Amino acid sequence: MTEHIANKVTETSTGLNFHFDNKFVRELPADPQTDNSRRQVMGACYSFVEPKKVKAPKLVAYSREMAAQLDLTDADCLSEQFTRVFAGNELLQGMQPHAQCYGGHQFGHWAGQLGDGRAINLGEVINKQGERFCLQLKGAGETPYSRTADGLAVLRSSIREFLCSEAMYHLGIPTTRALSMVLTGEDVVRDMFYDGRPKAEPGAVVCRVAPSFLRLGSYEIFTSRGELDTLKQLVDYTIETDFPHLGEPGKETYLSWFREICERTADMVVHWMRVGFVHGVFNTDNTSILGLTIDYGPYGWIDNYDPNWTPNTTDATGRRYRFGAQPQIAQWNLLQLANAIYPLIEDADALRDILNDYVGVYTDKWQQMRADKLGLSEFKAEDEELNQELNKIMQLAETDMTIFYRRLADISTENIDSADEALLSPLMDAYYSPEGLSKQDKKAIADWVSRYLQRVIADGVDDLTRKHKMDRVNPKYVLRNYLAQMAIDKAEQDDFSLVNELLDVMRHPYDEQPEFEQYASKRPDWARNRPGCSMLSCSS
């Protein structure tokens, strides 16, 4: 079991020494008001604001991979100064803390100004490789964009965000990262279920890291207000900073920029579909301009395969953000960005063509991904029927998507003529109630497996090569909701061992890791309907 990091904190570091280059605040317009009052912020990309100091910060966990990218050593991360800084209690020289202004469409409706209501950007760091990273504290207190909220975060949501950010990174999925998670030593009151029964919970702060936290809503807000000079300033800044290969700003560059955003977004969503991740609140304010998974709120992982499942209680009726709808929602979100940047381009046909091309781009990536998951060298037109049938048989009974694909890799083409029971034997662990499979269900699944093996034989790939290929794209370990909840339960009793152990496990999601076999198990019965293990609210 991993030793508690909180017990290892020392002052052995020579001091945190970042190279800050805060281009965002240097080149873009600031909110002229400096008081931290809730308000509509006009004509500005951000407001200066400092993190709230907390009573008793204690380091719970940190990502050594993210730390290394920031040129931090283990000694740096275990120092008292690290804990103070990433709790919000100490500002380093060069930091210029601020909260971003943005708007967004939420659940399909324009919501107006939103902004960083509980996130404070400390500044932008340039590492030794010349890479730019923005350091952001989530849960660090009120900002002008907090509306009626307190700007704080609780331990349970912080654990979920910290672990999932790093789990997604190791799965090979574009994502914002997490450097650290720190307990504040203060309680935060939350109404978890919006049922009028708020309670005090432990507070925490996560340091999130990304090249940029700009999202589609960052551009929408200025168009909605007719602040087109600010819109152009922000778009030109984004291209120069994050898309410099596109060249000087101008109509053609703007169109190339939009096309690349569409392609990056398609990449991201294909990865979500590959591993069974559901964002849960895929609003335009939660859609990164860089094609990164951003804002881990009521997300979830598909346990039993169900394209209509959403992890978000707020979305339970409409299911707008259900698993199977994510590709279409991405295109809808990109349409809102096209509307936002139209005043800079004034060519609806060109923007429409790029949006239409998104369908082809996504489909090509999606088809190749499905071929990879099945261990095939390429996707052929006749494979569409094979995949459609697979989609059907995985819904005949509760089928664990992650386990199904890992077990499918174990079925040998030598067994193609075996009886149905023998053919299905390697797959039985993927079913939540294998005894509930009807004879008809078993025949349908076995028939599909036979057709699949015929396709594999025709592909000319031997079983071992196919298994190696499948195991590189079909993870054995994902951060199932019940695992995160188990870590939360322990952490709320001041035991952070499972947080750090899961962090270790999720570093190698495609490896067998026999010592951690228990974390590859199906969702247990006790977690089927338990809050935090099935659906979650937007509350944190």
Residues noted as catalytic: 285
The bridge status of strand 132-138 relative to strand 119-126 is: antiparallel
Q: What backbone phi and psi angles, to 5 degrees, belong to 104? A: 165, 160
Please, are residues 509 and 167 in contact by the beta-carbon 8 Å criterion?
A: yes
- Distances from the Cα of 84 to the Cα of 160, 183, 494, 536, angstroms: 22, 11, 19, 31
Q: In what order do the strands lie in the sheet with 119-126?
A: 46-48, 98-100, 119-126, 132-138, 199-210, 177-190, 58-62
Q: How far apart are CA 74 and CA 187, in angstroms?
A: 29
Tally of CA atoms within 13 A in the half-sphere of 479 that contains its CB? 33
Give the 3-state secondary structure of 449-494: HHHHHHHHHHHCCCHHHHHHHHHHHCCCCCCCHHHHHHHHHHHCCC
Element (H, E) at 353: helix 348-373
Please, are residues 189 and 113 in contact by the beta-carbon 8 Å criterion?
A: no
Q: How far apart are CA 310 and CA 302, in angstroms?
A: 9
Q: How far apart are CA 88 and CA 422, in angstroms?
A: 59
Element (H, E) at 61: strand 58-62
Nearest by Cα to 174 from 279, 72, 103? 279
Q: How many other CB atoms are there within 10 angstroms of residue 241's CB atom?
A: 16
Q: How far apart are CA 473 and CA 401, in angstroms?
A: 13
Q: How far apart are CA 142 and CA 120, in angstroms?
A: 9
* Amino acid, res. 145: Y
Give the 3-state secondary structure of 294-343: CCCCCCEECCECCCCCCCEHHHCCCCCCCHHHHHHHHHHHHHHHHHHHHH
What are the structure tokens assigned to 332, written together? 């809808």
